[in-house]
Structure 1
Amino acid sequence: MSLNANDRSIASFTMTGHALVHWFETSIPIFLVVWLAEFDVSVALLGLVVALGYAPFGLGALPGGVLADRYGTKRLIVLCLGGMGGSFLLLSFADSIYTIAVGLVVWGIAASVYHPAGLSLISTGVEERGSVFAWHGIAGNVGIALGPFVAATLLIFFDWTSVAVALAVPGLLAAVWGLSADFDPVAAADELGDETESKPASLSDIVASSRALFASAFAIVFLIVTFEGLFYRGILTYLPEILQGLPALAAFDPGLGLEGIEPGDYIYVGLLVIGMAGQYAGGKATDRLAPEKGLMAIFAILASLAVLFVPVSDLGLVPLVVLCGVIGFFLFAIQPFYQEAVAVHTPAEGRGLSYGYTYLGEFGFGSASIAVGGFVLGEFALAAFFATLSGFAMIGAGLTALLWFRYKGGSYDVGGDEEPAGDVDDAGSD
């Protein structure tokens, strides 16, 4: 089914925002080598500075969701785009590591509001949610791939301050364009009769709304997303390093004569590219399959793929490449399903708060796997690392089974109760 005009407008707006959030996010590490030389600081200090920028990206998702419900999703996304672009302009004027720290913190704060605001907008304004969730996810993957590629390429020809300005321009232009974007942000919610004008206006309202959320199926959804985040962050953080140490890649020479480019990098980028297809397939599937069923299936697949990684990598390069491609597909195919699960099991008037908690679990609590994974890789064999990831996925599958059998695919009732609704034949439409 083709999208109507309102769906297309929201899709264009949110896809642009999602791509740019990850465009900025993944370009930051490219500057690290330059900043180390420019400001003559230790790796430890610069790592702390960069961590200060990334921390608000996850931790700010919850207040970002609150602000989205209070002040409107479009306004918040425009401010996000302008703030991210402005932060990179600030970076271009940096004359010390302290200015770098300020610029990165500004970026983290601005970027943190996007996911709760953007997903809230899709969930309340779009009729064909599954399709738009899919295209939205693909746009994020495009940003993930293009950000570091463009930054690294420009740094070959220009100084880093000019590159920072060049990267800022798309964000600033998108903010200006966003001011004139025309769409109804609650078109789909209105069809359900939701009281979308009720916005949390005080701390007590927010606390009350949070209590209502976690007294419903959303409490399980939150745990599901957290364990998905643990798997996602763990594998994407350490896979490039793991690939470089595998015997299957030890003797492989791409023959491009480019210093610093490792064979595993090509596989990793390929995984992200295949993830775009996974995003699309997962999003389209949410139009036809209850999110709980999709989540259970993909968690089980990811758990199996993690267990298979070490034995398959011993078979040679081709099986390893195929396995990584399959992992990339399902790693991103799962995302539209948990986004749809949030939409199904939360009220429209609190959708921003719901997605705020969602990305607190995904990016905030999920990042704990970076510490867990580092410990396991340092103390145990590689198989133990992938067994840990498999465990995260199996817990996610178990929690999803609990959600399904407890609520039977029911959607959130604005009166505060979850009502069993049997199988959801069209989980992506209202």
Structure 2
Amino acid sequence: MRENDRAIVAFTGLSHAVVHTYELSIPILVLVWLTEFPVTTATLGSVVAVGYGLFGAGALPGGVLADRYGPQWLVVGCLLGMGGSFLLVSLAPNVPTIALALGVWGLAASVYHPAGLSLISTGVHDRGTGFAYHGMAGNAGIALGPLATALLLLVFDWRLVAALLAIPAVLAVGVALTAEFDATAAVSADGGTEDGAGEDDAATTEETDAPASLSAFLADSRTLFTAGFALALGVVAMNGLFYRGTLTFLPDVLSGYLPSVTEYVRLFEPGSAMAEEFDLAYYIYTGLLVVGIGGQYVGGKLTDRVPVTTGLAGVFAGLCVVGVLFVPAAEAGVGPLLAVSAVLGFLLFAIQPLYQATIAEVSPAGDRGLSYGYTYLANFGVGAAGAAVSGYLLSAVGEGGTFLGLALFPLVGVVLAVALRGRRGTDAGAA
């Protein structure tokens, strides 16, 4: 990778890890708030849903802002907002203040993905590799964030832990303020991407043709929504539905198939309080997320070696197989369960660089932030329905039926990826 590529990837990778560190630390803190405040799980769940809802809903206006003002400083604002929100959490005297703080976090975090991905797509020449490293950094935050929060809570009061969690954002801002890179180094003068051009030939000015009014926003959206872009959004939505559907209740599902930890290691006495508290499912779940780091890397490399639609169809097909085989493998024993869980984690995250690169290929560089805004509205917004779907299926048809039902999402994804490949071929022929 070129020096400019490395600088952008380092900046966005660190920021991505911070975003997901906060996202996954919130459920750990929820356990503390349930005992700290006189609140029911229903009320606290609604409070948390405010932050997560804004995390998805704010992606679209975040994309507009990224195109209007440039992604680099929008990411800096995102980091400052997230760090400030957790400082507010640490000072919260009651649940309404926590709701406000999490709302601030959701709004601040929502702009990251359209801004960060826009920066990679316009500034990094080795785009696939850039997306891969970016995704791997996000997975590091996903896996290590909740673990670090849980370990800190063993030593410190939750308020101090929340304040300490603001430190990663401060460090990331420090990196941003000292980093030097060209945010448009991979964009040619006519708005296309330069796969083989040198940095000296790259455009040196920010894109400024972002929508400045509602009518302009609607006009840009109509222009953006070609058949290819609509198909690509369908691919993203299918990924989001399967992702949320499988991961939301996966720890609970794993618990039903795993024996007590004392059957394997003598960390605790059987029947002791510590043995009861130590849930092996949580650590297998964390391991699954760690395996996803490798999936991100491989998926990113694939974008530079095969057509992205081919990669999407292949990974979706693999997820279909995993959905069909997950429960039979779990019922076969711990070994098969660990194996199918590892494959699930690998494939769930291998697909992310592929669809991110697909969006970049079917959208103009000047509307890249807007395109990623729609992308993460589909991924986080539409995808959130996957949790409701899996919850209903678990209560109605059990675990076997749930995974078979969820396998329909990647199956539709295969169809959409093939259709997108055919559409791009038609468009190329027409050109």
Identity value in percent: 52
What is residue 198 of structure 2 aligned with on the other side?
Answer: none
Q: Which runs of 5+ in 2 are unaligned?
A: 193-202, 269-273
1:419 aligns with 2:428: yes
| CA deviation map 1:258-288 (0-9, x unaligned) | 4422122222111111110010011011101
1:254–1:351 distance in 2 versus 1, CA, 3 Å: farther
2: CA distance, partners of 1:191 / 1:135? 27
Which stretch shifts more, 78-87 or 375-384? 375-384
1: CA distance, partners of 2:430 / 2:152? 53
1:8 aligns with 2:6: yes
Q: Is the 8 A contact 2:187 2:365 kept in 1?
A: yes
2: CA distance, partners of 1:312 / 1:31? 33
Which stretch shifts more, 338-347 or 193-202? 193-202
1: CA distance, partners of 2:429 / 2:229? 14
1: CA distance, partners of 2:259 / 2:312? 32
What is residue 393 of structure 2 aligned with on the other side?
Answer: 376
Q: Is the 8 A contact 1:23 1:144 kept in 2?
A: yes
| CA deviation map 1:123-158 (0-9, x unaligned) | 011000111111100000100111111111111111
| CA deviation map 1:341-395 (0-9, x unaligned) | 0011110000000000000111110010111110110011211111111100100
1:303 aligns with 2:314: no
2: CA distance, partners of 1:302 / 1:215? 27
2: CA distance, partners of 1:192 / 1:149? 46
Q: Is the 8 A contact 1:248 1:316 kept in 2?
A: no
1:234–1:420 distance in 2 versus 1, CA, 3 Å: farther
What is residue 172 of structure 1 aligned with on the other side?
Answer: 170
Shift of 1:79: 0.2
What amino acid maps onto 1:139 in structure 2? A
Q: Is the 8 A contact 1:253 1:263 kept in 2?
A: no
1: CA distance, partners of 2:334 / 2:229? 42
1: CA distance, partners of 2:430 / 2:175? 41
Q: Could you say what secondary structure the match of 2:332 adopts?
A: coil
1: CA distance, partners of 2:258 / 2:361? 45
Shift of 1:193: 4.2
What is residue 118 of structure 2 aligned with on the other side?
Answer: 120
Shift of 1:215: 2.7
What is residue 99 of structure 2 aligned with on the other side?
Answer: 101
Query: For 1:227-266, what aligned pairs fall within 5 Å after superposition?
Result: 227-246=238-257, 252-257=263-268, 258-259=274-275, 260-266=277-283
What amino acid maps onto 1:363 in structure 2? F
What is residue 56 of structure 1 aligned with on the other side?
Answer: 54
2: CA distance, partners of 1:395 / 1:375? 20
Query: For 1:81-100, what aligned pairs fall within 5 Å after superposition?
Result: 81-100=79-98
| Backbone CA RMSD of aligned residues | 1.8
Shift of 1:75: 0.8
Shift of 1:396: 0.6
Shift of 1:240: 0.7
What amino acid maps onto 2:320 in structure 1? A
Q: Could you say what secondary structure the match of 1:197 adopts?
A: coil
1:221 aligns with 2:238: no
1: CA distance, partners of 2:409 / 2:210? 35
Q: Could you say what secondary structure the match of 1:217 adopts?
A: helix
Q: Is the 8 A contact 2:191 2:365 kept in 1?
A: no
Q: Could you say what secondary structure the match of 1:381 adopts?
A: helix
What is residue 199 of structure 2 aligned with on the other side?
Answer: none
2: CA distance, partners of 1:130 / 1:311? 35
Choose from 123, 130, 133 the match for 1:132.
130
2: CA distance, partners of 1:255 / 1:62? 50
Q: Could you say what secondary structure the match of 2:186 adopts?
A: helix
Choose from 22, 28, 31 the match for 2:26.
28
1: CA distance, partners of 2:2 / 2:173? 24
Q: Is the 8 A contact 2:59 2:111 kept in 1?
A: yes
1: CA distance, partners of 2:332 / 2:324? 14
What amino acid maps onto 2:179 in structure 1? A
1:421–1:235 distance in 2 versus 1, CA, 3 Å: farther
What is residue 271 of structure 2 aligned with on the other side?
Answer: none
1: CA distance, partners of 2:264 / 2:147? 21
1:398 aligns with 2:415: yes
Number of aligned residue pairs: give it: 412
| CA deviation map 1:196-236 (0-9, x unaligned) | 33222111111111111213410000011000100111111
TM-score in terms of structure 2 length: 0.92
What is residue 156 of structure 2 aligned with on the other side?
Answer: 158
Shift of 1:12: 0.5
